[in-house]
Amino acid sequence: MSGITVEQRGKSRNREGGLQEIARIWRQGDAATRTSFLVMGFGCLKRKQYIKGLLFLAAQVLFLLYMAGFAWPYLSKVNTLGTEAMRREWSEARQIFVRTPGDNSMLILLFSVMSLLLAIAFIMLWRANLRACYKAQVNEEKGLKQPGFMEDVKTLLDEKYHVSLLTLPSLMVVAFTVLPIIFMILIAFTNFDADHQPPGKLFGWVGLQNFTDVFWSDPLKAGTFGKILGWTMVWAVFATFTNYLFGMIVALMINKKGVRLKKMWRTIFVITIAVPQFVSLMLMSQILHDQGPLNMLLKKWGFISQNIPFLTNATYARITVIIVNIWVGIPYTMLITSGILMNIPADLYESASIDGASPARMFFSITLPYMLFVTTPYLITAFVGNINNFNVIFLLTKGGPLVTDYYQAGKTDLLVTWLYKLTVDKQNYSLASTIGIFVFLICASLSLVVYNLSGSSRKEEEFQ
């Protein structure tokens, strides 16, 4: 085989898919390479790359042992998620309750997902094994020296540096983000709730039951979902735009020509974001409490005789959370818009003021359109952030006031706080996961819009 054809083969490889590559290796591989399809590392071993070959072989043996020994008992039951619950029976002979261990649906599902991820990793390793064995074969055919193990390791610091850098982070992300998310997505198709808590009571697959429940078939859940979704959207719109508008006005005031001590004003506002939210918001909830300082002051001044239920009356509470969110949010918007506001061409304002435009007119005709144009991506990001704004709601009202026509939720609950309550307090995991998937769909579609608007994906290479 001449050098040119090898070269061409290398080029064509860029265009072929994973399966095509495997098929080609099968076609062009010799007996040793083909054996590597079944016995990993065989080709490497035959061509005296002992360490590499043994590592592949060891990985295969370990994986098979894991699958047969540990994972199989779980994997075999994944279609039912277990049939035998743990039993406690009175044993006459021993005069005690005897526990008969049974299946545990949660563990079956968890370990099955884990095994699935491991299997994917194994398939990738298997493909790497094929490539390595085939490369060894090609090297031998061309009469090249086979790279030693140390040389292979060295490529990990150069050509394959991405492998070394990404291994640890990928493991972490897979373990603590990917695995949990897949697990919880699957939970949305089960009946894992307070009445089905393994090992005492098993849960099983229910198909799309949770989705139909939440969207139409269960009046209470569907009603709650609709109302909470509505309030979440109202909240997100108000929270986003009030903050945006007022934050920009504050930024304009601080940045105005002739205003001194700019840095001091900015720092004062920044302090309130810097204080951890659980401190500042819990403080706010205390201040706004029925017997809190604000009511106390209003009473003292004789403006009111009854305490105002800022956080315990549905309408008041909804207004209060929006207002407190302004208090929380203005500094953020101020920080973010300050820089952009200074980029607005000054001659726009100059010609406007020569034409006799009032400051308000200038704000609505120049500043706002310009800012809206530049910061649309930020606005959508902020909107998504507000849909998921857990802290403000949870720390101020805990979602309350609770009402009976809501399914385990209160009048100020957002979808995420409802989700939190369902998981942590009510252990209704399947419903929570269903809502989580829905929130994901909203956020993902909005983010997709941002991604296309900002075009940062396209501009990525331009910087360099």
Partner 1 sequence: MKKKQTLRLNLVSLAMIATLLMAASLLLPWLNTLQMEGQKSYSAVQLLSASFLKLLPLVIAAAASAAVAILAVLRPRKGLLIVLAAALAASVLAGVYALLTAKETADATGLLAQPFMVRDLSLGIWVFLGLAIVALFLTLSAMREPTEYIILTVMASVWLLPIIWLVLTAFRQEPGAYTTYLLPKNYTADNFTRLFTETSQFNFPRWYMNTLVVAIFTCALTTIMVLMISYTFSRLRFPARKALMNIGLILGMFPGFMSMIAVYHILKAIGLAKSLISLVLVYSGGGAMGYFVAKGFFDTIPRSLDEAATIDGASRNTVFWKIILPSSQPIIVYTAITAFIAPWVDFIFVSVIMKDDYQNYTVALGLYRMLEREHIYEYFTRFCAGAVLVAIPITLLFIKIQKFYVEGVTGGAVKG
Q: Which of residues 401-460 bind partner 1 (CB under 8 A)?
A: 416, 419-420, 423-424, 429, 432-433, 436, 439-440, 443-444, 447, 450-451, 454, 456, 460
Asked if residue 377 has a cis previous peptide bond (ω within 30° of 0), the answer is no
How far apart are the C-alpha atoms of 316 and 108, rounded to whole Å? 47
Q: Is 183 in the site for partner 1 (CB under 8 A)?
A: yes
86 three-class SS: coil
> In whole angstroms, how close is the CB of 96 to partner 1 at the nearest point?
27
Report the 10 Å Cβ neighbour count for 318.
Answer: 17
Minimum CB separation from partner 1 for residue 18, in Å?
10
- Looking at the chain, how many residues does it have? 464
17 binds partner 1, rule: CB under 8 A? no
Max distance between CA atoms of the chain, in angstroms, equals 102
Q: Give the integer Cα–Cα distance in Å for 177 and 405.
A: 35
Stretch that binds partner 1, among 35-43, 50-58, 201-209, 253-261 (CB under 8 A): 253-261
The residue within the footprint of partner 1, chosen from 253, 319, 372, 403 (CB under 8 A), is 253
Residue 3, Cα to own-chain centre: how many angstroms? 48
Phi, psi of 91 (to 5 degrees): -100, 115
Query: Contact between 45 and partner 1 (CB under 8 A)?
Result: no
Query: What 3-state DSSP class applies to 205?
Result: strand
Q: How far is the CB of 334 from partner 1 (least distance, A)?
A: 10
Q: Which is nearer to partner 1, 54 or 366 (CB)?
A: 366
Site residues (CB under 8 A) for partner 1, limited to 305-344: 327, 330-332, 335-336, 338-340, 343
Please report whether residue 375 would count as binding partner 1 according to CB under 8 A.
yes
Instruction: Check binding of 172 to partner 1 (CB under 8 A).
Output: yes
Q: Which is nearer to partner 1, 360 or 424 (CB)?
A: 424
Applying CB under 8 A, which of residues 240, 280, 386, 389 lies at the interface with partner 1? Answer: 280
Residue 32 or 396 with smaller CB distance to partner 1: 396
Half-sphere exposure of 315 (CA within 13 A, CB side): 1
Nearest one of 297, 331, 330, 322 to 397, comparing CA atoms? 322
Give 39 or 66: the residue with its C-beta nearer to partner 1: 66
Task: Compare residues 31 and 62 and give the one whose CB is closer to partner 1.
Answer: 62
Of residues 161, 217, 223, 358, which one binds partner 1 by CB under 8 A? 161
Asked if 201 interacts with partner 1 (CB under 8 A), we say no
Tokens found for residue 257 = 């020509």
Determine contact, residues 228/417, Cβ cutoff 8 Å: no
Does the protein bind partner 1 through residue 273 (CB under 8 A)?
yes
Least separation in angstroms between CB 228 and partner 1: 14
Q: Which of 11, 88, 207, 301 binds partner 1 (CB under 8 A)?
A: 301
d(CA 86, CA 202): 9
- Cα separation, 325 vs 345, in Å, equals 31
110 binds partner 1 (CB under 8 A): yes
Task: Tell which one of 214, 254, 311, 317 touches partner 1 (CB under 8 A).
Answer: 254
Q: Cα-Cα-Cα-Cα dihedral of 62, 66, 67, 72, to 10°?
A: 160
Residue 278 interacting with partner 1 (CB under 8 A): yes
Using a 10 angstrom Cβ sphere, with 0-12 exposed, 13-18 middle and 19 or more buried, the burial of residue 410 is buried
Q: Which 377-406 residues touch partner 1, going by CB under 8 A?
A: 377-378, 381, 384, 388, 390
Round to whole Å and give the CA distance between 411 and 400: 6
**Residue 122 in the binding site for partner 1 (CB under 8 A):** no
Q: Are 252 and 233 in contact (CB under 8 A)?
A: no
Cβ closer to partner 1: 43 or 331?
331
- Minimum gap (Å) between residue 174 Cβ and partner 1: 9
- Spatial contact of 105 and 203, defined as CB atoms under 8 Å apart: yes
Among 128, 181, 245, 357, binds partner 1 (CB under 8 A): 181
- Minimum CB separation of residue 39 from partner 1 in Å reads 27
Which DSSP state fits 146? P
Shortest spacing between CB 48 and partner 1, in angstroms: 26
Q: Helix 429-454 vs helix 179-187: angle between axes, to the nearest 10 degrees?
A: 120
Instruction: Give the count of residues interacting with partner 1 (CB under 8 A).
Output: 99
CB of 388 to partner 1, least distance (A): 6
